[in-house]
Structure 1
């Protein structure tokens, strides 16, 4: 049960960082990318593997992209991938799986549509 709470907490934080990345402000995007990676790394490998819209290769690229070596275009590209409608909806669905396991109700936009812009 404790592990499931930790997984849910990491997923909720990832969702918040995706919102930050999607805000359109460069500083929010850049900070969101850094912390999205931190929270992604808190997930057990079997959970992270199921988040197929969040590619490990993209996560590994974040430190370089957010350093002085990276460009605004690098960060924009990563942000568009890691906080895409599909990635955001997938994280929301995973959150709701863990919320249900813990006996909590679904998060608003639980099917991924509202949280991901209504396209799913």
Structure 2
């Protein structure tokens, strides 16, 4: 499963990383209009699903959280983490994320994790 969370998805990269019959969940980029490599996608027999947290019920959110926690525990899901920062640096983390998301000016290669 490939979770696409970029504001401007890179479908060429995502599809190349997916296994045959893989599932892609698009979770960001509602205004994006990227090119979609139809050939490589359908040849692998992949499926594409949209997920918007704000439209999910509490039960759907709980089921998704349960799935993610189970996959993490079983080491079936390996999140890409750019860096771990203390909560006291939350403002800096937010600025880094904003630069990446809104200005595409950061070199983040994964998620930012804040620790207490």
TM-score interval w.r.t. the shorter chain? under 0.3
Higher-RCO chain (CA-CA 8 Å, sequence separation at least 6): 1
Which is higher, the Rg of structure 1 or of structure 2? 2
Q: Which has the higher helix share?
A: 1
Q: Going by fraction, where is strand more abundant, 1 or 2?
A: 2
